[in-house]
Amino acid sequence: MMGGAASLTDSIVINLVRMNKILEINAKDRVVTAEDGITLGELDAALRQKGLMLGRDPWRAALAQPLAAAYQRKAFQAYGA
Protein backbone atom coordinates (compact mmCIF):
# COMPACT_ATOMS: atom_id res chain seq x y z
CA MET A 1 0.00 0.00 0.00
CA MET A 2 2.94 2.32 0.39
CA GLY A 3 5.67 2.93 -2.12
CA GLY A 4 5.89 1.01 -5.37
CA ALA A 5 4.29 -2.31 -6.09
CA ALA A 6 6.13 -5.16 -7.76
CA SER A 7 4.82 -8.65 -8.23
CA LEU A 8 6.67 -11.89 -8.81
CA THR A 9 3.62 -13.55 -10.34
CA ASP A 10 0.77 -12.52 -12.63
CA SER A 11 -1.34 -10.09 -10.64
CA ILE A 12 -3.06 -6.72 -10.67
CA VAL A 13 -2.40 -3.50 -8.78
CA ILE A 14 -5.36 -1.49 -7.52
CA ASN A 15 -4.81 2.26 -7.18
CA LEU A 16 -7.25 3.76 -4.66
CA VAL A 17 -5.91 7.32 -4.77
CA ARG A 18 -9.06 8.72 -6.44
CA MET A 19 -11.34 7.01 -3.91
CA ASN A 20 -10.80 9.93 -1.53
CA LYS A 21 -14.19 11.03 -0.27
CA ILE A 22 -15.74 11.14 3.17
CA LEU A 23 -19.22 9.77 2.56
CA GLU A 24 -20.68 10.44 6.00
CA ILE A 25 -19.69 11.69 9.43
CA ASN A 26 -22.23 10.67 12.06
CA ALA A 27 -21.15 12.76 15.05
CA LYS A 28 -23.88 11.39 17.30
CA ASP A 29 -22.79 7.77 16.87
CA ARG A 30 -19.13 8.72 16.22
CA VAL A 31 -19.03 6.75 12.98
CA VAL A 32 -17.31 7.76 9.75
CA THR A 33 -17.91 6.20 6.36
CA ALA A 34 -14.98 7.04 4.07
CA GLU A 35 -13.28 5.71 0.98
CA ASP A 36 -9.84 4.14 1.29
CA GLY A 37 -7.88 6.85 -0.52
CA ILE A 38 -8.61 9.69 1.91
CA THR A 39 -5.63 10.65 4.04
CA LEU A 40 -5.70 10.68 7.82
CA GLY A 41 -4.99 14.43 7.71
CA GLU A 42 -8.05 15.07 5.56
CA LEU A 43 -10.20 12.92 7.82
CA ASP A 44 -8.83 14.58 10.96
CA ALA A 45 -9.56 18.07 9.53
CA ALA A 46 -13.14 17.11 8.65
CA LEU A 47 -13.70 15.63 12.11
CA ARG A 48 -12.31 18.73 13.84
CA GLN A 49 -14.90 20.87 12.00
CA LYS A 50 -17.53 18.86 13.88
CA GLY A 51 -15.73 19.11 17.23
CA LEU A 52 -14.35 15.56 17.00
CA MET A 53 -10.85 14.16 16.65
CA LEU A 54 -9.29 11.12 15.07
CA GLY A 55 -8.11 8.64 17.69
CA ARG A 56 -4.86 7.30 16.29
CA ASP A 57 -1.42 6.17 17.32
CA PRO A 58 0.83 9.08 16.26
CA TRP A 59 3.89 6.82 16.04
CA ARG A 60 2.24 4.54 13.49
CA ALA A 61 -0.04 6.83 11.51
CA ALA A 62 1.41 9.74 9.57
CA LEU A 63 -1.34 12.19 8.61
CA ALA A 64 -0.32 12.00 4.94
CA GLN A 65 -0.92 8.28 4.59
CA PRO A 66 -4.15 6.90 3.15
CA LEU A 67 -6.82 5.51 5.43
CA ALA A 68 -6.37 1.99 4.01
CA ALA A 69 -2.64 1.98 4.78
CA ALA A 70 -3.22 3.18 8.33
CA TYR A 71 -5.82 0.48 8.90
CA GLN A 72 -3.49 -2.16 7.49
CA ARG A 73 -0.72 -1.06 9.87
CA LYS A 74 -3.15 -1.14 12.82
CA ALA A 75 -2.60 2.57 13.47
CA PHE A 76 -6.10 2.82 14.89
CA GLN A 77 -8.81 0.38 15.82
CA ALA A 78 -11.96 -0.07 13.78
CA TYR A 79 -15.08 -1.56 15.31
CA GLY A 80 -18.25 -2.88 13.73
CA ALA A 81 -19.04 -4.78 10.59
- Domain membership of residue 20 (yes or no) is no
pLDDT average, residue stretch 52-77: 64
The rounded distance, in Å, linking the Cα atoms of 81 and 13 is 26
Of 12 and 26, more confident? 26
Q: DSSP labels for 13-24?
A: ----TT---EEE
Return all residues near 27 (Cβ < 8 A) that are at least 6 apart: 50, 51, 52
Strand partners of residue 39: 66
- Domain membership of residue 40 (yes or no) is yes
Q: How many domains does the chain have?
A: 1
Please check the confidence at residue 29 and state whether its pLDDT lies above 60.
Answer: yes
- pLDDT of 13: 75
- pLDDT of 1: 44
- Domain membership of residue 13 (yes or no) is no
**pTM surpassing 0.85?**
no
- Domain membership of residue 3 (yes or no) is no
